[in-house]
């Protein structure tokens, strides 16, 4: 099931995207959910053609819990060792953007980089989840771009400012609920160039391990997001770029870049 959050004629709602996922957008419809997707999903009788709506970030998380250095080659390209235990940081909810939104380059940085990532969307309130039961609290998965001001990350020594600017956490296009995250292709494309190309099987820690680790530290709420790290190939974004995150089984998250 693909769960989207959308705007139509001034109204924001959730819906289930129906139709063959690799077909043309004109062939897809969105079946409107009566309330929200966190619990038993009940559909209304109303359906809209997908091109008629504006897709938004699929959730509005209370927090985005992210992990660094979970791919060995990415850690190496930045001169770091692989994390011996999960290395967690937070991105503010105000950094979240949706499909088609503009990534804004801040004046404070001269080296803003993309990071294509698999994002986990939490489906129910949870604390102290064991890894073997992590699947019970996961609603599904979406594409993410953990945009990072690399120069500020290096100079600050901690990552809040570098990761926290508005628009630095695009998510979308929807949440895929029926997906095994163990071995998915994750790539990033800048215009016509393939910048990143990896697989989630290269991660040092599993999705279940990251969910369990996070829940031992803080209570996770429905709609919270966990970013699982990025493969090698990060590079600098420039005004005028179009950046696309593709994840196997989910789809594409496309954003433009501007000053």
Per-residue pLDDT tens over the stretch 139-179: 999 999 999 999 999 999 899 999 999 999 999 999 999 99
* CA-wise closest residue to 121 among 14, 42, 243: 14
Phi, psi of 97 (to 5 degrees): -135, 170
Residues 48 and 96 in one domain: no
Residues 29 and 84 in one domain: no
Look up the domain containing 25 and give its range.
Answer: 2-55
Residues 128 and 246 in one domain: yes
Non-local CB neighbours of 4 within 8 Å, separated by 6+ positions:
14, 15, 16, 17, 30, 55, 58, 173, 174, 175
Non-local CB neighbours of 82 within 8 Å, separated by 6+ positions:
69, 70, 72, 75, 204
* Residue range 173-214, pLDDT digits in tens: 999 999 999 999 999 999 989 999 999 999 999 999 999 999
Residues 96 and 8 in one domain: no
Q: Tell me what pLDDT residue 108 has.
A: 98
Kindly report the CATH number assigned to the domain that includes residue 34.
2.30.30
Residues 50 and 162 in one domain: no
- Whole-angstrom Cα distance, residue 114 to residue 191? 13
Residues 132 and 158 in one domain: yes
- Whole-angstrom Cα distance, residue 179 to residue 196? 21
Count of other CB atoms within 10 angstroms of residue 45: 6
Q: Of the residues 12, 27, 55, which one is the last residue of a structural domain?
A: 55
Spell 68-107 as b/e; 16+ CB within 10 A means b.
Answer: bbbbbebbeeeeeeebeebbbbebbeebbbbbebebbbee
Q: Is 33 helix (H, G, I), strand (E, B) or coil?
A: strand
Mean pLDDT of 234-256: 97
Residues 140 and 191 in one domain: yes
Residue 22: pLDDT band (50, 70, 90) is: low
Residues 88 and 183 in one domain: yes
Please tell me the total count of domains within the chain. 2
Residues 120 and 203 in one domain: yes
Residues 197 and 135 in one domain: yes
Residues 80 and 46 in one domain: no
Q: Tell me what pLDDT residue 69 has.
A: 85
Mean pLDDT of 115-128: 98
- Is the model's pLDDT at 95 over the cut of 80? yes
Please give the distance of CA 113 from its chain centroid, rounded to a whole number.
15
| Contact between residue 92 and residue 232 where contact means Cβ atoms under 8 Å apart | no
DSSP state of 239: T
Q: Tell me what pLDDT residue 27 has.
A: 84
- Whole-angstrom Cα distance, residue 247 to residue 207? 15
């Amino acid at each position: 099931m693909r769960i989207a959050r959308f705007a139509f004629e001034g109204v924001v709602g959730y819906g289930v995207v129906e139709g063959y996922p690799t077909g043309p957008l004109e062939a897809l419809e969105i079946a409107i959910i009566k309330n929200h997707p966190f619990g038993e999903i009940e559909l209304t009788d109303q359906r809209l053609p997908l091109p008629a709506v504006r897709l938004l970030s699929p959730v509005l998380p209370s927090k985005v819990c992210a992990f660094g250095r979970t791919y060995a080659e990415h850690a190496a390209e930045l001169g770091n060792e692989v994390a011996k235990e999960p290395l967690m940081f937070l991105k503010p909810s105000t950094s979240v953007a949706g499909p088609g939104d503009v990534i804004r380059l801040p004046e404070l940085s001269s080296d803003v980089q993309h990071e294509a990532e698999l994002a986990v969307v939490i489906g129910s309130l949870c604390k102290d989840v064991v890894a073997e039961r992590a699947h019970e609290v996961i609603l599904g998965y979406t594409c993410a771009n953990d945009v990072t001001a690399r120069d500020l990350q290096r100079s600050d020594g901690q990552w809040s400012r570098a990761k926290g600017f508005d628009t630095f956490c695009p998510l979308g296009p929807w949440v895929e609920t029926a997906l095994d995250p163990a071995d998915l292709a994750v790539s990033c494309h800048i215009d016509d160039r393939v910048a990143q190309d990896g697989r989630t099987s290269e991660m040092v820690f599993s999705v279940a391990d990251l969910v369990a680790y996070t829940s031992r530290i803080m209570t996770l709420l429905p709609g919270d997001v966990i970013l699982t790290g990025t493969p090698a190939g990060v590079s600098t974004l420039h005004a005028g770029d179009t950046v696309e995150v593709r994840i196997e089984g989910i789809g594409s998250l496309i954003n433009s870049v501007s000053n």
